[in-house]
Amino acid sequence: MLKVGILGGGQLGRMLLQAAANYPVETYVMENDENCPAAHLCHHFVKGDIRHYEDVYQFGKDLDAVTIEIESVNDDALAALEAKGVKVYPGTAALRIIKSKIEQKQFYASHTIPSAAFVVTKSLEDLAQHADFLPAVHKLSAGGYDGRGVQVITSKEDLDKGFDAPAVLEKKISIHKEIAQIVAVNEKGQTALYPPVDMVFNPLLNLLDYQVSPAELTETILWKVEAIALKVVKELKSAGIFAVELFIDKTGDIYVNETAPRVHNSGHHTIEGNYSSQFDMLWRIILDYPLGNTAPILPAAIVNVLGEDNYSGIAKYEGLEDVLQMDNVFVHIYGKKETKPGRKMGHVTILSADRNDLTYKQSRIRHILKVVSGEK
């Protein structure tokens, strides 16, 4: 039985472990918090810092394989583990490209992958020299996550809202649609594509609000999305699961926004909505089993369950019983004891052959399911 470690114990680790129960694998998790969402589902829990070299190396050195649920891991330790013969998903070279927004943009440019025009800035003083590039989006090169580290800059008056650290200034695109395309690739280089999803973001939090799969795309646009996503993944030269986020502008041009080298929020619907979920698929890749069937069972929508504004403390779920009475609705609560504004506390998947039904139910769920607490 293979010994496989997961660096990070959040909701992605939790859902990976739920899928792992179907396979002959001994699971290990490392996280700083022994009460994290994934802690009680693994065979072995290790308390440690995924950003610390010695913690990561000691955690992985006796394992057969290691994967991640967040990019902010110590990649030097992962490289040392790879040199020792431990399989790492994604490979360290691919992870290093993606961890740095600067390197990621340079990677797209060097491989003629369409992406928004950009300049690299090192400081606020440097940013001020590029006022003629506006409107644009300023993205921290390292450390941004879940909408943090991203700032829209529309005019010279907004320049002081940028980051006084290495960052990428991307030309703002007139977005018609935001699409996520998940690609699975195994050690042999074989690939499987999930149907792309339409993503709708919360404009205040810059977090995924809800999504619908499959995305409504013309056949020509679909082919282009798939071809671009495949090129990204093949050029990264790593096995694993990759979520390629793309913009489609009002003229039909397609641009890669960024890539996640792991299971991803935009693929959560695959648990109920597809024959092989993204979590099942990653275990197939790690365990060297055949790639799964990515076809949809039914069209699906997802609603992210976020902590309500002005509430922090022990989580309480209002409207949960009402949601559970709905047909073909599947609730996933992540097991986080405390809520805070905008925190991802769970998601709800809706399945229906009727797209109007998906739209109606996601809207209703967003309005009735609330995560609050006894404290404001």
Q: Where are the alpha helices (DSSP H) in the chain?
A: 11-20, 53-60, 75-84, 92-99, 101-110, 124-127, 219-236, 270-273, 278-286, 320-324, 355-368
Which of 7-11, 178-182, 371-375 has the least mean pLDDT?
A: 371-375
pLDDT of 210:
76
Q: What is the mean pLDDT of residues 81-90?
A: 98
Fold that domain 2-89 belongs to in CATH: Rossmann fold (3.40.50)
Distances (CA, A) of 16 to 150, 190, 238: 28, 21, 19
Pairing of strands 254-260, 240-249: antiparallel
Which structure tokens are listed for 299?
A: 């069209």
Which structure tokens are listed for 3?
A: 């010994």
Domain boundaries, the chain: 2-89, 117-171, 175-372
Residue 318 contacts residue 360 (beta carbons within 8 Å) = no
Distance (Å, whole) CA 359 – CA 171: 32
Segment 312-321, tens digit of pLDDT: 999 999 999 9
Distance (Å, whole) CA 142 – CA 73: 12
Query: Above pLDDT 90, what percent of the chain?
Result: 90
pLDDT of 367:
93
CB atoms within 10 A of CB 335: 18
pLDDT of 148:
77
pLDDT of 205:
60
Residue 146, pLDDT above cutoff 70: no
Segment 232-263, tens digit of pLDDT: 999 999 999 999 999 999 899 999 999 999 99
pLDDT of 374:
73
Q: Is residue 138 very low, low, confident or very high in pLDDT (cuts 50, 70, 90)?
A: very high
Task: Phi first, then psi: give them for residue 65, nearest 5 degrees.
Answer: -155, 155
Q: Is residue 293 very low, low, confident or very high in pLDDT (cuts 50, 70, 90)?
A: very high
What dotted CATH number matches 117-171? 3.30.1490.20
Distance (Å, whole) CA 50 – CA 48: 6
Segment 304-361, tens digit of pLDDT: 999 999 999 999 999 999 999 999 999 999 999 999 999 999 999 999 999 999 989 9
Residue 79 contacts residue 61 (beta carbons within 8 Å) = no
Segment 188-231, tens digit of pLDDT: 999 999 999 998 766 666 666 679 999 999 999 999 999 999 99
Superfamily, domain 175-372: ATP-grasp fold, B domain (3.30.470.20)
Q: What is the mean pLDDT of residues 86-113?
A: 97
Mean pLDDT value across the chain: 94
Segment 11-65, tens digit of pLDDT: 999 999 999 999 999 999 999 999 999 999 999 999 999 999 999 999 999 999 9
pLDDT of 356:
92
Distances (CA, A) of 185 to 46, 107, 151, 317: 29, 19, 32, 38
